[in-house]
Structure 1
């Protein structure tokens, strides 16, 4: 079976509920940006050194499908009847990660470079893609009714990616420090 349908050859696509819309519509641009974000989150998750961070990111990747699905549906009630959705519990989860990591990580008193580790740099890419998707979501929300739960979740995401990037940079820094101590210990022992 072919993966192409030819249904979009004239610049339109079908939403979750079957409605045909232009591929350049605000709705399609918005869920497309969150799809791009999710692909970047998947890449970041593969680069992470922290198993805890990998698990957290996988959870967010999974939730992103519900976010995209709801945006890709003109009839929100129909989507909510047939799928899981983003709730305030999901926003509180992001906030709990942000709060915990903010308390654990060294304080920041100035702007930071976007990533000193590979995973940290990729998570900053996630943060910037997220900010663009959020701006598109705001435009989309002015044209379409959106649930406040979705708005709150989208608003927390870029802060979440920022703190995840800091966490991965910190983990990489600690690993480098441990490696250097071990290297010096080994050199002293052999010398």
Structure 2
């Protein structure tokens, strides 16, 4: 099976000033592309015919090259869609997800603080996540490198991710240098809550993994 980099759902400059144009070009066209190239090489070398969801689910059995690059491809394919230009999405979650956040975290502000803390305190490179875990409960977690919460046995909390934030330095260093907290604070302005709500309603709330083409 051959994998490819999905096109961005907006222009490179669409997330300015919060995520700058040069970062988007390098992040999408170079970093994501490298994960896909290396993943294709790895699956060919190992004669692996699994689709991407299966690769992520079985990452612990497939070796470092497929685990790291498969995770990188899956994470980024969702990440681009989890952001949107200002004014094109609701600024907060709505509907059932909004109610569930209040139920499981106490309030949206409490959730946001917990997620931000997970992102800031992730040592080195990795991701912060909101997902649906055991018994349908929402939870926040962070993972190292290109791991994600679907990688059962490899992460602290197994859950279906519906929102993720890349805190690798390549996601923010050109604009924010070492100021990760500033990057995270500004990133909240471009979260595509309409897409996150869709991921919850259509997939995660039903115990289904979000496909990368959704």
User: What TM-score range do you get, normalising by the shorter chain?
Assistant: under 0.3
More helix by share: 1
- Give the TM-score, by structure 1 length: 0.26
TM-score after normalising by structure 2: 0.24
Q: Which has the higher strand share?
A: 2
